[in-house]
Amino acid sequence: MHLTQGTFSYLPELTDEEITSQIEYSLARGWALAVEFTDDPHPRNTYWEMWGLPMFDLADPAGVLGEVKRCRDAYPSFYIRLSAYDASLGRQTTALAFIVNRPAYEPGFRVERQETSDRRIRYTLHPYAADRPHWERYGER
C-alpha cells in the first residue's frame, strides 16, 4: 500500500518527464517551487525538511528537476515532495504538492481506537515506521 498524499496520489508514480511537465506548468504561473523530504509522512506532519531554499524567479525546469535528483541521491529511502507556492494573493499559498520519491518499502499505518466518555470513539493513526529510530525508518527489509 502506498502513502496517498498530494495532488497525484491516485496515479502511478510520475516519471521525470511527467514531473518536468508539472514544473513547467507551475513556472508558467509564476509559482515558486520547493523540494522537501521526510521519513515521517504522517498525514498531520505538514512541515517536511527543506532541500535548499525555495526556488524563486526560476525559469528553467531542468534546474528544479536537478534539485529533485540531488535530493533523491542524498535520501533515496525517504519521501520527497515537490511543492509549488502561489504568492499572487499577497501570501505564500500551496498551489500544488506531490510526491516525487518514496521508499521501496512502505510499512503503512495502524488505526488505534480509543473509547472515551459518552460513547465517543477516537481514532488515531500510528505509522509502523515510527517504531524504528529517526532517520532509519525506511531501511531495506
Contact present, 2 and 41 (Cβ < 8 Å): no
Position 68 scores a pLDDT of 97
Position 34 scores a pLDDT of 95
Position 19 scores a pLDDT of 94
Amino acid at 94: T
In the numeric block, the cell 523530504 is attached to: 37
Position 135 scores a pLDDT of 64
Contact present, 112 and 123 (Cβ < 8 Å): yes
Long-range contacts of 63-72 (CB under 8 A, 24+ apart): 64/23, 64/27, 64/33, 64/35, 65/16, 65/19, 65/20, 65/23, 67/35, 68/19, 68/35, 68/100, 68/101, 69/16, 71/35, 71/37, 71/101, 72/100, 72/101
Position 22 scores a pLDDT of 95
Domains of the chain: 16-101 (3.30.190.10)
- What parts of the chain have a pLDDT lower than 70? 1-6, 10, 134-141
Position 77 scores a pLDDT of 87
Position 139 scores a pLDDT of 60
